Amino acid sequence: MQNIPFDDLTVGMEAETTRLCRADDLYVFANASGNLNPMHLPKADGDGDGVPESIAPSMWVGSLISGVLGCQLPGPGTLYHRQSLRFVGRAQAGDMLTVKVRLIAKGADRKVTFETWVERADGSRIVDGEAEVIAPQRPVRFDAADVPGLTVQYHRHFDRLLELAEPLPAIPTAVVAPEKPDALGGAMLAARHTLIDPILIGHPDRIAEAAEAEDIDISSCRIVEARDHRLAAQAAVRMVLDKQAGAIMKGHLHTDILLGEVIKREGGLRRGGRRISHVFVLDVPGLDHLLMVTDAAINIAPDLRTKADIVQNAIDLALTLGVEQPKAGILSAVETVNPAIQSTLDAAILSKMADRGQISGGLVDGPLAMDNAVDLGAAATKGITSLVAGRADILVAPNMETGNMLAKELTFLAQARAGGVVMGAKCPIILTSRSDDEQSRLASCAIAALNAAGGVA
């Protein structure tokens, strides 16, 4: 940016800029100003008419004028003296706004006066006024490239999953041992959103105590008595086999007890010879698509055959969530095959298996390091030519520890929200954690509902 010093300014000079009012702008202004008026929040109904208003705050619109004065005319080095504003219209998220200033007077002490206004794309004004600023004395050039950017921490991808899943019929779900408030509360929350129709399996007295502790009404729920956790898991599996349930949801019991019943060769829910695996589905702020991480919860040190099943399970899930051509990046520490690093050998073989149709429904490439799996610039720097590199929807970890750390890092350091299910069985299995918030629990149930229904229409 280059300024125009006071001595070079002449009456009649003009400058303008065009700015799209985005929903993100409204969130940023709300946080920066402390003005949380729901009239100005994209999804809130501020006046009770049942429709979100999403009106841009007038002071945000007015602030756009300072951007023209501070960046263009007079530009860097300018300081405000006063500003008058008259609001004659409203802007909403999605409106294209043009901000204009015109120099109308020069005064003492480098003070200059501008006519200022903001108009919509149709030319109608929504703000007009007058600004007096102190113009810079000498030329100044400023490179704005180093100004930090902002990422709005909201989770639009999960919102979309909920929108897609809520119209579906509630999936009958065997909830195993919902004997603590958090376990019961997650299931009932999903029921209120019509994602699942919970069948509560466990010790009736403990379920009742959990309901009383959280003031949850379970009078409409079917309760199946099972006073032992293993018996409860067995009952859930039988209900799926008998077509009474279309999904299983973990409550307050050890995961290995539940999955031990699922993977039994006789009377379990194994689907052919495929191994089951867990898929984390993450909504990462700033990322324009869902990101999946697998396997981070079940297979500790998977061999090649198991990894092939893990990849196929993740691709199958991605397809049901509306990803047209899932791209799976097989992770390692490096992006070249190194015989000393087993994960690079496995990755290369998995890629070739996909080429030969042994893994189907998506694109598979590896080995890829984390950076060139998710960042096009990093992939280009390494000279990687691939339809997956820099664009991966699915990150396949070399082992459970790596996958678990990756998912937790994204959740706790990048503010991602995580849901997920166990795939490879005859029905989706919802594993929730006590640390999951409500949105994550709902997302896991929405993922299971979409998967059980066969995917996004």
Residue where a domain terminates, one of 146, 173, 208: 146
Does 429 reside within a domain?
Answer: no
Q: How far apart are CA 412 and CA 192, in angstroms?
A: 28
Does 436 reside within a domain?
Answer: no
Does 19 reside within a domain?
Answer: yes
Does 394 reside within a domain?
Answer: yes
Q: What percent of the chain has pLDDT over 90?
A: 79
Do 191 and 333 share a domain, yes or no? no
Domain count, the chain: 3
Q: How far apart are CA 397 and CA 69, in angstroms?
A: 50
Instruction: Please tell me the predicted confidence (pLDDT) of residue 214.
Output: 87
Question: Could you tell me the pLDDT band of residue 153, with boundaries at 50, 70 and 90?
Answer: low
Do 368 and 255 share a domain, yes or no? no
CATH number of domain containing 359? 3.40.718.10
Do 15 and 40 share a domain, yes or no? yes
Do 129 and 173 share a domain, yes or no? no
Instruction: Please tell me the predicted confidence (pLDDT) of residue 287.
Output: 87
CATH number of domain containing 64? 3.10.129.10
Angstrom CA distances, 293 to 62, 283, 313, 392, stand at 43, 11, 11, 10
Do 240 and 326 share a domain, yes or no? no
Do 36 and 129 share a domain, yes or no? yes
Instruction: Please tell me the predicted confidence (pLDDT) of residue 117.
Output: 97
Does 324 reside within a domain?
Answer: yes
* Residue 32 dihedral angles phi and psi, to the nearest 5°: -70, -35
Q: How far apart are CA 251 and CA 165, in angstroms?
A: 22
Instruction: Please tell me the predicted confidence (pLDDT) of residue 433.
Output: 74
Does 441 reside within a domain?
Answer: no
Tokens coding 94: 């999605």
Does 161 reside within a domain?
Answer: yes
Averaged pLDDT, 168-175:
94
Residue where a domain terminates, one of 125, 146, 167: 146
Q: pLDDT tens, 90-123?
A: 999 999 999 999 999 999 999 999 999 999 999 9
* Residue 82 CB neighbour total at 10 angstroms: 10
Do 374 and 301 share a domain, yes or no? yes
Task: Provide the residue range defining the domain that includes 31.
Answer: 6-146
Do 263 and 280 share a domain, yes or no? no
Do 180 and 302 share a domain, yes or no? no
Question: Could you tell me the pLDDT band of residue 152, with boundaries at 50, 70 and 90?
Answer: confident
Q: Give the closest residue to 285 by CA, choosing from 162, 152, 409.
A: 152
- Three-state secondary structure call for residue 390: coil
Does 437 reside within a domain?
Answer: no
Residue where a domain terminates, one of 270, 288, 308: 270
Do 343 and 420 share a domain, yes or no? yes
Q: Please report where in the chains the tokens 């004028």 appear, as a residue.
A: 65
Q: What percent of the chain has pLDDT over 70?
A: 98
Q: Give the closest residue to 445 by CA, choosing from 189, 199, 258, 177.
A: 189
Averaged pLDDT, 273-284:
93
Do 49 and 132 share a domain, yes or no? yes
Do 253 and 285 share a domain, yes or no? no
Q: pLDDT tens, 196-238?
A: 999 999 999 999 999 999 899 999 999 999 999 999 999 999 9
